[in-house]
Amino acid sequence: MPGQDADLSKLTFLVVEDQEHIRCLIVQLLARLEVGRVLEEADGGAALRLMSSESPDFILCDVWMEPVDGLAFLRRLRSGEVGTENAAVPVVFLTADSEQGTVMAAIEGDVDGYLVKPVSLADLRTKITAILDRRRSGLRPKAVPQPRPVS
């Protein structure tokens, strides 16, 4: 039923984040969501290499990393560089960058979702569930940025 929390216990998530402490926080959030398995890489190039032998069900990725950033990773992923089975894996960018140009580049690159850090457990759960619901219904999700908190 749409809107219910998806069962994530059988899914493999790939977290692509260059800052180790942030990567650990994301992994902790995924553990609280009871994700089945989590793979981790520090940049897009390493993630692409990993995907030559692994097929994650969902990817959470930072935008600005070196040497291969999230936008380049997304382009290469969607082009089928690591196999057609991986080209359609849902990708959500988790980034501190809320600039319109970056958001538009992500949308043009066919990202599935865009969340601005810091991200809450509830926001992450909602985004993942919405994307999985839309995938099950045969629709592609709209990449709408999460509004930046006002301080």
Q: Parse the chain into domains and list their residue ranges.
A: 12-136
Q: Which CATH number fits domain 12-136: 2.40.40.20, 3.40.50.2300, 3.40.190.10, 1.10.150.650?
A: 3.40.50.2300
Give the pLDDT of residue 3.
46
Q: Which pLDDT does position 138 carry in this prediction?
A: 72
Identify the band that residue 95 occupies on the pLDDT scale cut at 50, 70 and 90: very high
pTM (2 d.p.) = 0.87
Residue type, 7: D
Residues belonging to the chain: 151
Condensed to tens digits (0 to 9), the pLDDT of residues 98-146 reads 889 998 999 988 999 999 999 999 999 999 999 999 888 776 544 444 4
* Interatomic CA distance for residues 102 and 131, integer angstroms: 20
Give the integer Cα–Cα distance in Å for 15 and 73.
13
Instruction: Read off the tokens for 7.
Output: 């069962």
- Other CB atoms within a 10 A radius of the CB of residue 122 amount to 8
Strand runs labelled E in the chain: 12-16, 37-41, 58-61, 91-95, 113-116
